Amino acid sequence: MDLYEYQGKQYFARFDIPVSPGATADTVEEAVAVAERIGYPVVVKAQVQVGGRGKAGGVKLASDRDEAEAHARSILGLDIKGHVVRRVWIERASDIAREYYASFTLDRSAKDHLCMVSARGGVDIEQVAAEEPGAIARRHVDPLDGFGIEEARAVVAEAGLDEEARDGAAEVLVKLYRCYVEGDADLVEINPLVLTPDGRVHALDAKVTLDDSAAFRHPEWAEWANLEELDPRDRLAREKGLQYVGLDGYVGIIANGAGLAMSTCDVVEQVGGKPANFLDVGGGASADVMASALEVINTDEKVKAIFVNIFGGITRGEEVANGIVQALGRVDIAAPIVIRLDGTNAEQGRAILEEHGSDRVLSLPTMLEAARRATELAGGVVR
């Protein structure tokens, strides 16, 4: 789950990472009231889960009530890269001497945590990485070794942060690592981490991605989960407990097991089609689960055909087939369905599908044939 900046800052504050005091507002009136309470100058910031808000006019400084009102009015309702601003965060404006970058994330290929620090903060870090990779100091962190003040000092020095910022930045890094590990995050990023003219170092922005697999030990995350910006398909899938990722194509995909679901997407691509989604119904394929999966896919207007790819293992073919048939009875599906059923008792399963199937439901024995047919039915060009 991605957090909004203000939520990320609340999370940072729990780990004692210095952030500016502030509050959210959903209307211009509220925004003015908050600004008056905080005292000027304030900064009014669009709360959307997309970067580059500053450049898009979503971050503005206000030195009095009139400016706060004008900025709140221009930012609320603003469309930033397709995200409409419904809420602003208003905080006491900071004086900035220097802007840096700091983050921890998981480096999957190195199988370690990765700390990154740069003296070139405030700007898009991907751009820095592309133009001047040497400007980012990187340090892998073995979770068993941890990350203490010594490591923090080393990476801050390597990044070439200004002398007067080094102690403060190193302290922030140690706290940021704790936030990342104890806070069960996949990513914590501060851009910019600023040095103020009076020598303090603190976080002006917050990007936090929480590890959803750890949600069970963080009941306090629930209030944030409700506010998360989700595509309607993602929201429905989550409500139904399905592993769903929306994509841009036109062949809806349902498979059991994440590996099979990924291979299914690959095979559809390989024959020239475009997957509309990744959807893993899990190990089994009961009628309930299949019905939910079909329901989610059915809400996607881009889907012109559905490819159901199930490999019977512990769940036997005839159970899967019965599940699919029952699900078809419950959900009125707009697109034709191509089913490839294999594995344990596949023959019996296919016989059941044949018996109950209509001309809108087709069973094919191999993944490749099924992928081709689904792509054709969806109006795609098969290679």
Query: Which residues are identified as catalytic?
Result: 101, 189
Amino acid at 132: E
Contact pattern from residue 144 through residue 183 relative to Mn ion, giving x for each residue in contact according to CB under 5 A and a dash for the rest: ----------------------------------------
**Of 89-97, 232-240, 241-249, 329-337, which part binds ligand GDP (CB under 6 A)?**
89-97
Tokens of 250: 């036109």
As a whole number of angstroms, the distance between CA 163 and CA 102 comes to: 16
191: contact with Mn ion by CB under 5 A: yes
Q: How far is the CB of 248 from ligand GDP (least distance, A)?
A: 25
Selected from 34, 43, 90, 251, the binder of ligand GDP by CB under 6 A is: 43
Contact pattern from residue 175 through residue 214 relative to ligand GDP, giving x for each residue in contact according to CB under 6 A and a dash for the rest: ----------------xx-----------xx---------
Selected from 32, 68, 71, 99, the binder of ligand GDP by CB under 6 A is: 99
As a whole number of angstroms, the distance between CA 5 and CA 7 comes to: 5
Residue closer to Mn ion (CB basis): 183 or 192: 192
270, 305, 372 from 382: Cα distances, Å? 9, 14, 6
Binding residues with Mn ion: total (CB under 5 A): 2
380: contact with ligand GDP by CB under 6 A: no
59: contact with ligand GDP by CB under 6 A: yes
The length of the chain, given as a count of residues: 383
Note whether 242 and 280 are within 8 A (CB): yes
Q: How far is the CB of 107 from ligand GDP (least distance, A)?
A: 23
Q: How far is the CB of 209 from ligand GDP (least distance, A)?
A: 15
Binding residues with ligand GDP: total (CB under 6 A): 17
Contact pattern from residue 110 through residue 129 relative to ligand GDP, giving x for each residue in contact according to CB under 6 A and a dash for the rest: ------------x-------
- The binding site for ligand GDP (CB under 6 A) comprises 43, 45, 51-54, 59, 61, 93-94, 96, 99, 122, 191-192, 204-205
- The binding site for Mn ion (CB under 5 A) comprises 191, 205
